[in-house]
Amino acid sequence: MSDNNQFSKQPQKKSFSQKNGRFGMIFFLLAAVVFIGYTFWGQRTIIPKITYTDFLSYVEEGRISEVRIIDNVKIQGSLKSVTGQNTLFETNIPYSDNTLMAFLEKNNVIVSGIESSPSFFVILTNFLPWIILLLFFLMIIRQNSAQSNKGLQFGKSKAHVFDNKKNKKIKFSDVAGQIEAKQELEEVVDFLKNPQKYEKMGAKIPTGVLLVGAPGTGKTLLARAVAGEADVSFLHISGSDFVEMFVGVGASRVRSLFEQGRKMAPAIIFIDEIDAVGRARGAGFGGGHDEREQTLNQMLVEMDGFETKDGVIVLAATNRPDVLDPALLRPGRFDRQVIISLPDIKEREEILKVHATKVKLANAVSLNKFARATPGMSGADLANMINEAALAAARKSIDFITDAEMEEARDKILMGVARESVIMPEKEKQMTACHESGHALQYYYLENASPLHKVTIIPRGRALGLTIGLPKEDSYSHTKKWLKDQLVILFGGYAAEKLVYDDTTTGAQNDIARATDIAHKMVTEWGMSDKVGAMAFGQDDEPIFMGKEIERKKGYSEYMARQIDESVKEILDEAKNRAYKNLEDHRDQLSKLSNLLFEKETLEDTEIRKLLGFSTRITSDDSIVSENGTGVVSPELS
């Protein structure tokens, strides 16, 4: 599925730090201008000073012909030098000299008096400290105000608003597969487009629709497609965006979100991962004052207050519907659940086609082939596979993506990243080749096994070797015979080590754990034990509401526990013995395959068939069996 995650945020007011930074910059520039201007002015108006004694002497010598007395404290005039040039001078009157005027008149000095007016820079210099102090107090006041506003903004909705005008609309045609889900959601689209049709009949469209599906199946994309088809506003928020460290913020954000939705009606409110805030209340999850519970309570109240005439529909997505509060799922709230399942073969091919249009794919690449070879993959997995193939092609500097890059990308997703730098000791590598060959050969000996895809002893992820089979078709339930054959495949590696080396390694740990889990479920959950019968054991957790049980109860006696253990052991021993006998009867094939795998490190199904000399799967009694094995939802890794 393709998802252009284009959400446009609402215009946000500038934060206090931005405003404060601009204010500080203006203040700094103003202070710099004042300082530079004052310095420049001061340098341009400097007048040489002389002492009052020298001034009196110069008057007697006749070198001063005119003076100005400023405020009775300062004298400025022109002094004639010995060369006949006049230079300005200034002197201060140190005391009140009553004889000064008579002295100047006696020496024929022209006297004038002025009252000085302070310059702009002098005034600014005098008031600058007060201005700085005032600005400082203004900054404090603005900061307190901003903090108060920030506290008020904390409770506002953090929803992203998708603008249909600015961004490309997502339509149902952009969502590959999911036919049933789209049919369910078309009712919602029709209501948003033509509400009168339903109001006329007195029908009530569900105000809440819950999208349930595994991660990567396209729940968010479908929600956007509903908004795109109906051409209405789309508000997107995550369940984790509601709860903060401050009490009451979550409930406030819920109120703000629904108020915003009503103002933008008709609109769709989409809450992603609603289980983050909608978990069941009760014992084990905090008391009645828990912040998350307050947020959930407010959400329940808001959804109760919805009316169809409001033109607002709430969509939510989760992959854990089992943990949601029952009150959230009752009629009138999220009373309609739309299951978003993993894509089948046809849908996988459609999804691959959607993503293939964005890359340079060679014409020879068969997307149908890779759709069949990727059971259990979600839309996100398929998109990642196409992207990994494009990256591989770019690393190789080739013009188009070929089958080789697609195979490499698929194996990387299914089996993990190859750790080719890991160098195993020769003895350990031989035992690993023997182990994986034991797994691989079981695929050809068992009637209900899926076709083998590939076996490798190149370490991938945390495994030293991997054997993978891929089903030819999708399957949604499994038979007892199929499960027993899966156990034989899992014990194939253990049996090969025991047969060839009369010893076992820790490499069988994961195989044994998975086999034990399957056998235990066959006995306790699926009723596949002849000794125990069709019974289910172990009581699941009750919904955690009003203090119900939060632990799993045993629910059976010690005698029945012994019967269960014996039944599980019988199933495992049978599988282990079958795996051992299959390899013992075809030990030469085990030796051939093990040696070739040790040499080449990776083998595919066609290479193994050529080596062993058969084109169809064989059983342990050498009878020919058709290849129409039952498929599985996910690949078998061993």
Task: List, for residues 508-527, the tens digit of each pLDDT value.
Answer: 999 999 999 999 999 999 99
pLDDT > 70: percent of the chain: 77
Q: Which of 504, 450, 496 is nearest to 474 (CA)?
A: 450
What confidence tens digit (pLDDT) does each residue in 599-616 have? Answer: 998 898 889 999 988 665
The Cα–Cα gap between 32 and 29 comes to: 5
* Cis peptide leading into residue 266 (ω within 30°): yes
Read off the pLDDT of each residue in 42-57 and give the average, rounded to a whole number: 75
Q: Is 533 exposed, middle or buried (0-12, 13-18, 19+ CB in 10 A)?
A: exposed
**CATH class for the region spanning 45-141:** alpha beta
> Given this model, what pLDDT does residue 571 score?
95
> Given this model, what pLDDT does residue 332 score?
81
Amino acid at 485: D
Read off the pLDDT of each residue in 224-229 and give the average, rounded to a whole number: 86
Do residues 612 and 590 lie in contact, with contact meaning Cβ atoms separated by under 8 Å? Answer: no
Task: Indicate the pTM of the whole model.
Answer: 0.65
The Cα–Cα gap between 203 and 348 comes to: 37
45 CB contacts (<8 Å, ≥6 apart)? Answer: none
Do residues 192 and 269 lie in contact, with contact meaning Cβ atoms separated by under 8 Å? Answer: no
Amino acid at 461: G
Lowest pLDDT segment from 191-200, 241-250, 603-612:
241-250
> Given this model, what pLDDT does residue 313 score?
86
What's the chain's average pLDDT? 79
Query: Is 90 exceeded by the pLDDT of residue 488?
Result: yes
The Cα–Cα gap between 571 and 255 comes to: 57
Q: Among this protein's residues, is 350 annotated catalytic?
A: no
Domain with CATH 1.20.58.760 in the chain: 426-539+556-612
> DSSP letter string over 558-600?
HHHHHHHHHHHHHHHHHHHHHHHHHHHHTHHHHHHHHHHHHHH
Q: Which of 465, 409, 475 is nearest to 634 (CA)?
A: 475
Do residues 491 and 579 lie in contact, with contact meaning Cβ atoms separated by under 8 Å? Answer: yes
> Given this model, what pLDDT does residue 193 score?
82
Amino acid at 288: G
Length of the chain: 638
Query: Is 90 exceeded by the pLDDT of residue 485?
Result: yes
What confidence tens digit (pLDDT) does each residue in 321-338 have? Answer: 888 888 888 888 887 888
> Given this model, what pLDDT does residue 634 score?
34
The yes/no answer on whether domain 426-539+556-612 falls in CATH 3.40.50.2300 is: no
Q: Is 134 exposed, middle or buried (0-12, 13-18, 19+ CB in 10 A)?
A: exposed
Q: Determine which one of 436, 473, 570, 627 is catalytic.
A: 436
The Cα–Cα gap between 182 and 190 comes to: 12
Query: Is 60 exceeded by the pLDDT of residue 130?
Result: yes
Query: Is 50 exceeded by the pLDDT of residue 633?
Result: no
630 band by pLDDT with thresholds 50, 70 and 90: very low
Which CATH number applies to 345-415: 3.40.50.970, 1.10.8.60, 1.10.8.50, 1.10.760.10? 1.10.8.60
Distances (CA, A) of 415 to 53, 340, 437: 103, 25, 17
Q: What does DSSP assign to residue 299?
A: H
Q: From the CB of residue 87, how many other CB atoms can be counted at a distance below 10 Å?
A: 11
Which tokens belong to 444? 């050809």
The Cα–Cα gap between 491 and 573 comes to: 10
Q: Which of 384, 350, 381, 343 is nearest to 367 (CA)?
A: 350
Bridge partners, residue 69, by sequence: 75, 113
121 band by pLDDT with thresholds 50, 70 and 90: low
The Cα–Cα gap between 19 and 450 comes to: 66
Q: From the CB of residue 74, how many other CB atoms can be counted at a distance below 10 Å?
A: 15
> Given this model, what pLDDT does residue 35 score?
63
Domain with CATH 3.40.50.300 in the chain: 160-281+291-339
What confidence tens digit (pLDDT) does each residue in 66-117 have? Answer: 888 887 788 888 888 777 778 888 888 887 777 888 888 888 888 887 766 6
The Cα–Cα gap between 72 and 100 comes to: 11
Domain with CATH 1.10.8.60 in the chain: 345-415
Q: What does DSSP assign to residue 512?
A: H
The Cα–Cα gap between 299 and 363 comes to: 52
The Cα–Cα gap between 625 and 88 comes to: 122
Highest mean pLDDT among 131-140, 339-348, 411-420, 458-467: 339-348
Q: What does DSSP assign to residue 15?
A: P
Highest mean pLDDT among 300-314, 331-345, 576-590, 601-615: 576-590
Read off the pLDDT of each residue in 294-317 and give the average, rounded to a whole number: 79
The Cα–Cα gap between 255 and 389 comes to: 46
Q: Which of 594, 616, 592 is nearest to 605 (CA)?
A: 616
What kind of fold does domain 160-281+291-339 have according to CATH?
A: Rossmann fold (3.40.50)
What confidence tens digit (pLDDT) does each residue in 140-172 have? Answer: 777 766 555 555 555 566 667 776 666 677 888
Domain with CATH 3.30.720.210 in the chain: 45-141
